[in-house]
Amino acid sequence: MKNILLLWGVLCLSISCQQTNKSSVDPTQKQTTLDTIQKKPNAPFGIVIHGGAGKIIKENLSDSLEKVYHEKLSEAISKGNDILKNGGSAVEAVKQSINILEDSPLFNSGKGAVLTHEEQPELDASIMDGKTLNAGGVSGVSTVKNPINLAYEVMENSEHVFLSGKGAEAFAKTRKLTLVDPSYFITKKQLQNVRRIKQKENNKQASFYNPDLNGSKFGTVGCVALDKNGNLAAGTSTGGMTNKKWGRIGDSPIIGAGTYANNATCAVSGTGWGEYYIRGVVAYDISALMEYKGLSIQEAVKKVIYKKQPQLGGEGGIIAIDHLGNIAMEFNTPGMFRASYLNDELDIKMYQKE
């Protein structure tokens, strides 16, 4: 009897301890990415980036320009790979790889982003953590040097998921992010591009939905990663589409459209004609095809990019990675700047047949 009473006492004590622990966790508190960082030296990890899809063909790129793109893609993905190799988080790898692409005028994100009808930059970005399903997005910012960092701050240090325009920029100030004058983002090349398209528009030769955009280079940047703890993350950063008007927002800052990550399935970043990616809820659709239909990452990405998007009229590309490090890099345009770093092997490609 004494033993039974003792056992009963121990049981009650352990249940009450568990309850105390539970009640000390604030249910409104978001888990942060930092919670995910512990080192598992031999676990698989990997990273994939894109620098936009579109009419990227050998004839349009001189050998020296090809080399410059190659070097920048290599620098960006190597940064992320080093972070992962040293046990860093997928979110950190995504953020830092994208920072390098945002700082380069070669791509349509950060410096060198495409310009609006008013010849101004209006930048969009988003990031998602596949472990916690936390996410952050920003749209229409023109003073934050690295929009992906602002999306990260929204995810980690705000109660919200999606901020826009002036409010997003005010929040950036509170997070002490690097701010710049909008002119920092404007390059001669993008000024010429938007003026050329506006000219055609004046001559009634073109509109936003026109052959000048359809089939041209898009150039958004994105990154997906798997870290040694089995956590996935995805991020995308863009200037949107040339000559956009009326505060147009594309798919890139929208969670589920241009960016999605879930440890149960995959991490996805897209690039292409945003209106169609929003309507197709592309990034989430790929995850859902894996979750509910049991498709592999390759099958899911191919179904969306070669069947569902063309049926709607959309074009572009997708990069994705799953929790085992299987990847997909698919596009229905002539080319896509892309790179993967898996098992210490770096692979960089631009064109269709490589």
Residues involved in catalysis:
220
Measured CA angle at 190 (ends 186, 192), to 5 deg: 120
Measured CA angle at 132 (ends 172, 277), to 5 deg: 70
Q: Is 274 in the site for ligand ASP (CB under 6 A)?
A: yes
The CA distance from 155 to 177, in Å, is 14
Question: Least Å distance between CB 27 and ligand ASP?
Answer: 35
- Beta-strand ranges (E) seen in the chain are 46-54, 123-129, 135-141, 162-164, 221-226, 232-238, 259-261, 266-272, 316-322, 327-331, 335-342, 345-351
Q: Is 220 in the site for ligand ASP (CB under 6 A)?
A: yes
Residues 276-335 that bind ligand ASP (CB under 6 A): none
Q: Is 218 in the site for ligand ASP (CB under 6 A)?
A: yes
Position 184, amino acid = Y
Using CB under 6 A, which of the segments 3-11, 76-84, 218-226, 342-350 binds ligand ASP? Answer: 218-226
Q: For 78, phi and psi rounded to 5 degrees?
A: -65, -35
Q: Which is nearer to ligand ASP, 88 or 258 (CB)?
A: 258
Q: Which member of 88, 219, 256, 280 binds ligand ASP (CB under 6 A)?
A: 219
Give the residue among 4, 19, 306, 267 at the shortest CA–CA distance from 135.
Answer: 267
Question: Least Å distance between CB 47 and ligand ASP?
Answer: 19
Q: Which member of 251, 315, 322, 330 binds ligand ASP (CB under 6 A)?
A: 251
Q: Convert 276-300 to b/e letters by CB count within 10 Å (16 or more is b).
A: bbbebbbbbbbbbbbeeeebebeeb
Q: Is 238 in the site for ligand ASP (CB under 6 A)?
A: yes
Give the residue among 245, 202, 210 at the shortest CA–CA distance from 114.
Answer: 245
Q: Which is nearer to ligand ASP, 223 or 241 (CB)?
A: 241
Q: Is 241 in the site for ligand ASP (CB under 6 A)?
A: yes
Position 55, amino acid = K
Residues 103-132 that bind ligand ASP (CB under 6 A): 108
Site string for ligand ASP, 38-67 (x = CB under 6 A): --------------x---------------
Contact positions vs ligand ASP (CB under 6 A)? 52, 108, 218-220, 238, 240-241, 250-252, 258, 271-274
